[in-house]
Amino acid sequence: MPEPFEPRTDPDVDLRVPADRRELTARPATILAAIAAGGVLGALARAGLQHAVPHPPTGFAWATFTINTFGCLLIGVLMAVLGHLDGGPPLARPFLGVGVLGGFTTFSTYAVDIQQAIVVGAPGTALAYLAATLLGALAAVALGDAVTAGLLRRATR
Amino acid sequence: MTVLLIALGAAVGAPLRYLTDRAVQSRHGSVFPWGTLLVNVAGSLLLGVLVGWPAGPAVSALLGTGFCGALTTYSTFSYETLRLTTGGHRLLALANVLGSVAAGLAAATAGYAVARALTG
């Protein structure tokens, strides 16, 4: 049986998934409000962690590194769970995936922190941070997806 | 006050990422995640401008931490890369990784340089 949730590439919105195509016309205000609310929560959590663990321009941005790798682990877990539930509750992906995790993780701070480390003359830190985040994030999302999907398969067998 | 500004920026940035992604996909049938690449590059450009300007704490909280932070995403980028890989599109996955990092860095550098040049 073909699963409508499975061909998804994009966790934010994938127009090849019928439910994603329909959701905005069906109830635009609810969907956008759920995304905005989740985005606010994710962004505030990110800002709180960055404030608690600041880094000098020449230093490794540990807070943002942790935020991005942990957020990638969680999107792997979340999408495996939602895929198992054939998409899950209609607002789960918009609120948790697009909103909370999309708002929590950040690409702009990643790019600018690398650029700033280069500007202040710390290319080694810039390269280490660039590679560590990239490899950490990709390993984390694969791990979150594989472990969760494996556990769910075992639980329902 | 800072908390409110971050919240306001994020409340606009996150839905704008979703709407941009939808708009790009409705024009492009491609499996390559152009929508996410676009928001990540645009957000990196704007944050580069804000850092180079340099913007004050209120503008940084609203547009930098809030708006750019929520507009851009690492989780979507990594999940798409995983899906491209497991879906047999290994070259597209590699192109997404290299393209996103290179374009994001180039955008941040350009935004920073332009802002520095304009503000002396």
Nearest to B84 among A9, A107, A114 (CB): A9
**What is the average per-residue pLDDT within B18-35?**
94
For chain A, percent of residues with pLDDT exceeding 70: 96
pLDDT confidence of residue A21: 94
A13 and B22 in contact (C-beta within 8 Å)?
yes
pLDDT confidence of residue A6: 63
| Interchain pair A39, B46: CB under 8 A | no
Residues of A with Cβ-Cβ distance to B72 under 8 angstroms: 106-109
Checking phi first, is residue B93 left (phi over 0); if not, alpha (psi -120 to 50) or beta? alpha
Q: Using CA atoms, how far apart are residues B68 and B13, in angstroms rounded to an integer?
A: 7
The total number of structural domains in chain B stands at 1
| Interchain pair B65, A105: CB under 8 A | no
**What is the average per-residue pLDDT within A103-128?**
98
Q: Using CA atoms, how far apart are residues A100 and A40, in angstroms rounded to an integer?
A: 7
Nearest to B69 among A46, A119, A138 (CB): A46
Q: Using CA atoms, how far apart are residues B106 and B48, in angstroms rounded to an integer?
A: 10
What radius of gyration, in Å, describes the C-alpha atoms of chain A? 18
| Interchain pair B105, A106: CB under 8 A | no
**What is the b/e burial string over B99-115, where b = at least 16 CB atoms within 10 angstroms of the residue's CB?**
bbbebbbbbbbbbbeeb
| Interchain pair B75, A36: CB under 8 A | no
Band (pLDDT 50/70/90 cuts) for residue B28 is confident
User: Is 60 exceeded by the pLDDT of residue B31?
Assistant: yes
pLDDT confidence of residue A1: 39
The ipTM assigned to this model is 0.97
Tokens of A140: 């984390």
Q: Using CA atoms, how far apart are residues B14 and B72, in angstroms rounded to an integer?
A: 8
- Of A32-36, B103-107, B116-120, the least confident: B116-120
pLDDT confidence of residue A137: 98
Tokens of B60: 């940084």
pLDDT confidence of residue B120: 75
Report the Cα B18 to chain-centroid distance in Å: 12
pLDDT confidence of residue B29: 80
Q: What domain range is B66 assigned to? A: 2-119
- Look up residue B44 and give its amino acid: S
Per-residue pLDDT tens for B74-89? 999 999 999 999 999 9
User: Is 60 exceeded by the pLDDT of residue A5?
Assistant: no
Using CA of residue B107, residue B108, residue B110, residue B114, what is the dihedral sign? Answer: positive
A140 and A73 in contact (C-beta within 8 Å)?
yes
Per-residue pLDDT tens for A55-105? 998 999 999 999 999 999 999 999 999 999 999 999 999 999 999 999 999
Q: Using CA atoms, how far apart are residues A136 and A131, in angstroms rounded to an integer?
A: 8
3-state secondary structure of B88: coil
Mutate which of B78, B83, B85, B90 to disrupt the A interface (most A C-beta within 10 Å)? Answer: B78
Helices (H) and strands (E) in chain A, counts: 7, 0
